[in-house]
Chain A
Amino acid sequence: MGALVIRAGCRTRFGDFSLDVDLTLPGQGVTALFGRSGSGKTTLLRCIAGLQENDGAIHVNGAIWQEGRRRLPVHKRPLAYVFQEASLFPHLSVRGNLEYGFKRVPPARRRVAFDDAVAWLGVERLLERRPDGLSGGERQRVAIARALLTSPELLLMDEPLSALDHPSRGEIMPYLERLHDTLSIPVLYVTHSPDEVARLADHVVLMEGGRAIAAGPLTETLARIDLPMIRQDEDAGVVIEATAVEHDADWHLVRAEFPGGCLWTRDPGSRIGQKLRLRIMARDLSLALEHHGDTSILNVLPAVVTQLADGNHPAVRLVRVEIGETPFLARLTSRSVAALDLKPGKEVWVQIKSVAIVD
């Protein structure tokens, strides 16, 4: 078996909407398809599943799902799909719903045990209930377990949290994060929520008007200020993977190491060696030409300016700096950029006011 890759070339149109993408995605980890509603991300997911007529080619980890006239019907594609609404079968119990896909996979091809999926999603006590008696969050957990029980080679999730209220979302997110950490199944995750991207994605595809305008690893792609979609975003910022390396028990802080430096942040009760996902917003960074020791800001690191771009208002500019090999974004006023004479190659001190641990 060669490298794990998903190739999706899909072209389709209906009404005045057209989708035209040709993507090569990593065949492991979580890839977020991110964009506004109407950007074509759900359509792309439906094309990959075979639920939507389209021209093009779809290869998943070496297997051809679609090419030219040859189209594998949906039920022969080893995928699982989690829809926006849980869409449980109302005529079956929770157990009947979970067994529906499980029973249709030959025992030799099952790699997810019934009891494991039930335990991962915490639905043990719901098994004999009817779907109509469940809360929105419970229903979606059953739907995710039902999908996993087909032992898919690709898991497609279409905004699985967007139909839920805020508390239910909070209820499901930890399960999704745990799946991300324990499962080796590649996931394509459609969302319009930057928060979900920050918490779950390893890779991201930015979608706009039926086109994929960028695709790549999460940190690198979120720092692409050459893209209007990134630099005009009020919530622009980067997400970096770091490791907990030291605790400051007196002040309840943890030192998180990333390629190129370290950051102190609030300790969520981490273990040494634990992976931490940090989200740092562009608005929380400021730049200085000299190192000031007399500041309340804990994290002051040396960096190099690599790129500048206009923001969403003439008064604002975005500056991309690199600390070691890790990119960060800073949103500054145009006046400050001029006053400090910031330009690519310039060495600066980055002051980071706030670091959020998202995972």
Chain B
Amino acid sequence: MDPDWQAVTLTVKLATLTTLILLVVGTPIAWWLARSRHWIKRPIASVVALPLVLPPTVLGFYLLVLMGPNGPLGHATTALGLGTLPFTFAGLVAASVCYSLPFVVQPLQNAFESIGERPLEVAATLRASPLDCFLTVAAPLARPGFLTAAVLAFAHTVGEFGVVLMIGGSIPGETKVLSIAIYDHVETLEYGHAHWLAGGMLLFSFLVLLILHQANGRLDKWGRS
């Protein structure tokens, strides 16, 4: 397979998997952050938001240490017979989930908060259990939030570089994603290849944002009614 195309498919695979995991992991965190009044809420929210401000290399460095053969996570994965995660696709997925977490949690949290208490109280008086309330009232009303979260998680994962460099390296078919491929092309002065990939990324990013705005515009109108 063409190495550039391999990098593209690997990137799409990584971003899709990361997005799915993040929606599963991020939704309960966002729901809890939106509803809890516990003091621990603020520290947790800050931890979740850390990847927004940390240089990706810092995050990547700590993940590398944690997941390495001498790190606690590395011990755990070795004990489970999974080997160590750095420089594998699985390690890349784990790192991407940490890195893109705030991009899922924050839009979802905002969406849940903007629903307010009332619709949930109404649903409870109409015999809906808390889980039922969430699935049939909160989730549908937070649909714009889910769309934003999914698109941001996907796009952000596609665009990551520093964390991948630290944790994944550049193993073709395993950890060599698009951004790394572009970097390698530029390093070896293959500007033609770099142009194809970089231009493709530019177009992709633009399309993603355009679709997001379009869809949210429509959903907003519907949500306000």
Contact = CB atoms under 8 A, between A and B. Distances in A.
Q: Do A and B bind each other?
A: yes
Interface of A: 49, 51, 73-76, 79-81, 83, 85, 87, 89-91, 100-101, 104-105, 130-132, 146-147, 150
Contact of B118 (A79, A87, A147, A150): A87
B110 to A, nearest CB: 18
A146 B225 contact: no
Interface string B5-43: 000000000000000000000000000000000000000
B66 interface: no
Contacts of B143: 91
B125 A80 contact: yes
Interface residues of B, number: 22
Contact of A100 (B126, B222, B225): B126
B119 interface: yes
A49 B124 CA distance: 10
B141 A74 contact: no
Given A85-B118, A90-B141, 15 more contacts: A49-B125, A73-B130, A74-B121, A75-B128, A75-B129, A75-B130, A75-B132, A76-B127, A80-B125, A87-B119, A90-B225, A91-B143, A101-B126, A101-B127, A150-B125
Contact of A75 (B127, B136, B141, B222): B127
A89 B125 contact: no
A100 B119 CA distance: 12
A79 B126 CA distance: 8
Given A130-B225, A131-B225, A132-B225, A91 B125 contact: no
B137 A150 contact: no
Interface in B143-164: 143
A83 B116 CA distance: 14
Contacts of A75: 124-130, 132-133
A51 B128 contact: no
B225 A104 contact: no
7 contacts: A75-B132, A91-B140, A100-B123, A100-B128, A101-B125, A130-B225, A147-B126
Given A91-B140, A91-B141, A81 B125 contact: yes
Interchain residue pairs A-B with the least CB separation, the first 8 = A132-B225, A101-B126, A104-B127, A74-B124, A81-B125, A91-B140, A75-B124, A87-B122
A109 to B, nearest CB: 10
B121 A89 contact: no
Contacts of B72: none
Contacts of A89: 119, 122-123, 137, 141
